[in-house]
Amino acid sequence: MTTTTTPRDTSAAARPASGSLRRVTALARAEARLLVRNRTALFNALLLPLVMVAFFSFVGGAGNGDPVTAATSVLASLVSLCVLFVVYYNLTTAYVARREDRVLQRLLTGECRRPEILAAAAVPALLVTVAQVLVGYGAVCLLVEPPGLVNPVLATVGVLGGTLLFTVLAAATSGFSRTVESTQLTTLPVVVAVLPFAGVFGPPGATSGVLWDVARFTPLRPVVELVWLGVAGVDADGRTLGLAETFAAAALPVGVLAAWTVLGVLAARRWMRWEPRR
């Protein structure tokens, strides 16, 4: 007696992934259109980081005459401020606005899952951040000196990891925000807590002490350290490293970034609201 077996449909496993990508892409396009229409959000995304970078470069001396240090300092400041304002502040506002308009509620009744909704809202912010960094890199190459890009992998990890971390922090913060206007207050504690210790006021090693050692464990500091390691090969103590050494030096900032991301995910699951708070 012989039996016949039907060939297994190998495409079945790929269908959920392709469906998820399709939904995220569609939602991301809608979020991008809303961002373009919102002049305040567009200003925060495009101009505010550049203004802040100019300010911090002036305060920190932007390398004090060393072109490579100056260029890397500008890029590190740009990345950290984009993550803080383009991603964190704008996404907190977006999540609150969608929640109060019952958009999140309606999306959950369809095929979209919660991670897909959060990711779709973050896509425009990520694209704006990447575009700002690329424009900033081109600007410092023309106006100052092309940075060496010792380890582009670490710089990329810093940008993407920082975007992921502050996306989940934005989701968590939105749970404490009753209205879009109130996000100016609810996001302020995070901005005030992380920005002074991010290392945007000067190159690594310029400041030392117990306080700055502790500051390495704050959420934004690992992003700046990874950019410095990736672009200039400079560690937190100001030492210039080779390619292999930068991977070893990246262990601490990557670990801190991962730990904060896990905490952010737990906080988002605990405090984010999907229904209006009215």
Contact 236, 225 (CB under 8 A): yes
Average pLDDT for residues 79-94, to the nearest whole number?
91
pLDDT-wise least confident of 38-52, 88-102, 164-178, 227-241: 38-52
Average pLDDT for residues 136-144, to the nearest whole number?
78
Q: For position 146, what pLDDT does the model report? A: 76
Q: In whole angstroms, what is the distance from residue 79 CA to residue 67 CA?
A: 18
Residue of 142, 145, 157, 163 lying closest to 229 (CA atoms)? 157
Higher pLDDT, 120 or 144: 120
Q: At residue 6, does pLDDT exceed 50? A: no
- What's the pTM value of the predicted model, to 2 decimals? 0.84
pLDDT-wise least confident of 62-66, 159-163, 179-183, 226-230: 62-66
